[in-house]
């Protein structure tokens, strides 16, 4: 993957507060759930704090292919890949732990039901806003009158 695409994906991951994890349930039904985006750095792997047991983990253990979507003022990102529960890796929870995690996991970082969900992305599609908000808004207004699609960002599909 090109460095500029990696940098754009990393920027979009960091800009978001919430990610939507989509799992495959019984009969192929898709279930999307919000997860706090707590990861400080993106290194090619997505990580989240979750409770085990939970319905989402039951589903991904049966069908590990997932999608993770992010939305922020910087743009949108959708990543497809394979998920797994990280168990027994020293420091895995600590990497994500902070004040935001404490609100969701009152049992603390030592809670036996607290685990790390790791997603190994295989592909990504992003829509990154490359124009400042005021410029993007002006281009959108112009597009309304000219009936032309505004160019306010970059859309790209990337194989990871």
Q: Which residues are bridge partners to 125 per DSSP?
A: 78, 157
> 113 and 53 in contact (C-beta within 8 Å)?
yes
Q: Phi and psi of 116, rounded to 5°?
A: -105, 130
Distance, in Å, from the CA atom of 84 to the CA atom of 64, rounded to the nearest integer, reads 7
Give residue 89's pLDDT: 79
Averaged pLDDT for residues 118-137: 81
Q: 30 pLDDT band (50/70/90 cuts)? A: very high
Give the pLDDT confidence score for residue 140 in this predicted structure.
59
Lowest mean per-residue pLDDT among 54-58, 115-119, 123-127, 129-133? 129-133
Report residue 64 as tokens: 């590990």
Residues of the chain with pLDDT > 90, as a percent, come to 68
Which H helix or E strand runs over 64? none
**Is the per-residue pLDDT at 141 higher than 70?**
no
**Side-chain half-sphere exposure of 153, counting CA atoms within 13 A:** 18
Q: Average per-residue pLDDT in the chain? A: 89
Tell me the average pLDDT across 119-137: 80
Each residue's pLDDT tens digit, 7-19: 999 999 999 999 9
Write out the E strands in the chain.
Answer: 18-24, 30-36, 46-51, 65-72, 75-86, 114-129, 153-159
pLDDT of 155 above 80: yes
Cis peptide before 53 (omega within 30 of 0): yes
Residue 132 structure tokens: 């400042």
Let me know the angle formed at the C-alpha of 36 by 155 and 48, rounded to the nearest 5 degrees: 90
pLDDT 10s digits, 34-93: 999 999 888 999 999 999 999 999 999 999 999 999 999 999 999 999 999 997 777 889
> Which own/partner contact pairs does 101-109 have at CB distance under 8 Å and 24+ positions apart?
101/36, 101/38, 101/49, 104/36, 104/49, 105/49, 105/51
The string of DSSP letters for 101-114 reads HHHH-TT-TT-TTE
């Amino acid at each position: 993957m090109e460095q500029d695409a990696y940098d754009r994906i990393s920027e979009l991951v960091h800009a978001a507060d919430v990610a939507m994890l989509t799992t495959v349930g019984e009969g192929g039904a898709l279930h999307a759930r919000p997860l706090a985006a707590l990861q400080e750095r993106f290194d090619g792997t997505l990580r989240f704090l979750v409770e085990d047991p939970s319905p989402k983990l039951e589903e991904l253990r049966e069908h590990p292919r997932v999608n993770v979507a992010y939305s922020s003022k910087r743009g949108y990102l959708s990543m497809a890949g394979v998920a797994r529960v990280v168990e027994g890796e020293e420091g895995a929870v600590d990497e994500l732990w902070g004040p935001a995690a404490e609100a969701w996991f009152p049992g603390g970082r030592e809670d036996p039901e607290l685990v790390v969900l790791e997603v190994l992305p295989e592909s990504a599609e992003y829509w990154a806003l490359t124009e400042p908000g005021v410029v993007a808004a002006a281009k959108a207004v112009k597009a309304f009158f000219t009936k032309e699609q505004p160019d306010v960002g970059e859309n790209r599909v990337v194989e990871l």
